[in-house]
Amino acid sequence: MRKKIGFIIIVLSVILSICLCKTTQNEGVTTIIKDSKNMLIAINYPKTKYKTLNKEIERYVEETYNNFKDAYENFFGLGNKAELNIDYEYHQVDDRYLSITLYTYIDSHTLSLPLKTIYSFLYDCKKGTYHLLPDIVKNKKEMNVYIKDSLKQKYASYGTEEIDVPNELGAWPFTIDSKKVSLYIPTGKPEFAYYVVHIPLEYFEIGHIEKEEKAFQYTPKLSTIDPTAKVIALTFDDGPTKYTKDVLKILKKYKVTATFFVLGNKVPMYAETLKEVLTSGNEIGNHSYNHKLMSRLDKDSLLEQIDMTQKIIKEELDYTPVSLRPTYGSVNDKIRNNSSLKIVLWTVDTLDWKIKDSKKIAKRGLKVKDGDIILMHDAKERTVKALDIIIPKLLEEGYQFVTTSELEETKLLRKRL
Ligand code: ZN
């Protein structure tokens, strides 16, 4: 990769050298979710303030997407379900480096096991250049000993034969966060794609920046539902996104609340917005970590999707979701039996992910009855516009807006009436 873009980078690094990445704030996430009959696509990648970096990330995503489409049309067979998932990790390592890791997951009925690949690099924000791990290792010999020792323990736990560790780290993918370097070493085995070796930061020439800690404590609000009046639950999937704030604004305008089924991987990027979501009396539910088709996952991967999301929400928001909305609304016994979270689907689909006209979305959202759950997505402006029609009209019709937990509570209260 360095060869390809080397020349452009040299030219651009002069321009970029004035840019400093002091802030750890991200510019956002680009999300592409497509749910056609047999092709399920969920792509998330970071959009940074560095144009060349964005271009490189976009190039990778586009190439992967095109390869997947090719395979879908020529190899997987058009009648079969196939899934492409691209997810990322983004860490500001210090005031110079950004660690970018892109995870690709491809599954199809024609594959016996899902394909997993990782693409990663370090971005030098000051110079606008790209680096691999060997560029920042302090002592290559020590590093190799460390990796070999770690791998030996892994062979024992995985029950596999030893693989050769080359003397150079090479182009193995990696992620650097505030505590460690995670190195992904290809196993060459279909059951698990990579051995993961965690290496302390001391082995590398990198600094460390302290994350600003703002203590946030979640205090649940007391609900005031009148069980004798009609209730309706608005729900938003696939967020948070940059539109979540706008959705929240509309909810506040009419003093109503809703439930947001979020993707775990997007939570840190929009933590501040989500804190506001909670303090305004809304509920947050779990919608998986990165929108994989949950009903197709094996037990371990399924639990990982659910638990990672629970953990990240707890860490970032001091809040524990009690409900789960399986991706694509696809639910089976494996999901039912492996999670203590309450599974919440919907009864009214506004199709706001497909219909472009906000009035048409609103029309669908207004065809409701007492106790309905409306599905929307906080990912488009048209949804925000449709809400501005739906909410006042339903308030006029005497509906109380409740979260999905409050909806359950209402059912209980009504039984006691
Ligand atoms: Zn979804």
Reported as a single tens digit per residue, the pLDDT across 312-332 is 999 899 999 999 999 999 999
Separation of alpha carbons 374 and 348, rounded Å: 5
Q: Which of 47-61, 188-202, 298-312 has the lowest mean pLDDT?
A: 188-202
Q: Look at 331 and 95; give whichever has higher pLDDT.
A: 331
**Residue from 116, 110, 58, 118 nearest 84 by CA:** 116
Ligand 1: centre distance to CA 20 (Å): 36
Cis peptide before 240 (omega within 30 of 0): yes
In Å, how far from its chain's centre is CA 296?
18
**Annotated catalytic, 237?**
yes
Are 280 and 249 in contact by the 8 Å Cβ rule? The answer is no
Q: Strands (DSSP E) along 240-312, which ranges?
A: 259-262, 283-286
pTM above 0.85, yes or no: no
Higher-scoring residue by pLDDT: 199, 162: 199
Alpha-carbon gap, residue 100 to 77, rounded angstroms: 33
Percent of the chain with pLDDT over 70: 86
Among candidate residues 287, 352, 377, 378, the one labeled active-site is 377
The one catalytic residue in 237, 352, 372, 378 is 237
Consecutive H or E run containing 82:
strand 82-92
Q: What are phi and psi of 122, to 5 degrees?
A: -105, 135
Give the CA-trace dihedral at 409, 259, 236, 396, to 10 degrees: 70
pLDDT at res. 126:
82
Interval between CA 85 and ligand 1 midpoint (Å): 13
Tell me, in angstroms, the distance from the centre of ligand 1 to residue 245's CA.
18
Ligand 1 centroid to Cα of residue 287, in Å, is: 7
| Centre of ligand 1 from the C-alpha of residue 363, in Å | 21
Task: Tell which wins on pLDDT, 27 or 399.
Answer: 399
Q: How far is the CA of 238 from the centre of ligand 1 (A)?
A: 5
**Distance in angstroms (rounded) separating the CA atoms of residues 314 and 308:** 10
What is the rounded average pLDDT of the residues 172-195? 82
With cut-offs at 50, 70 and 90, classify the pLDDT of residue 170. low
Give the whole-angstrom CA distance, residue 267 versus residue 170: 32
Q: Is 149 a catalytic residue?
A: no
Q: Between these two residues, 321 and 187, which has the higher pLDDT value?
A: 321
Lowest mean pLDDT among 184-188, 242-246, 268-272, 297-301: 184-188
**Distance from residue 237's CA to the centre of ligand 1 (Å):** 5
Name which of 13-17, 85-89, 242-246, 337-341 the model is least confident about: 13-17
Sheet holding 174-176, edge to edge: 174-176, 180-186, 194-200
Tell me what pLDDT residue 167 has.
58
Residues lining ligand 1 (ion), CB within 5 A? 237-238
How large is the average pLDDT for residues 198-225?
73
Taking Cα atoms as reference points, which of 373, 378, 364, 363 lies closest to residue 406?
373
Mean pLDDT of 373-400: 97
> What would the pLDDT profile of 206-217 be if each residue is shown by its tens digit?
875 555 555 677
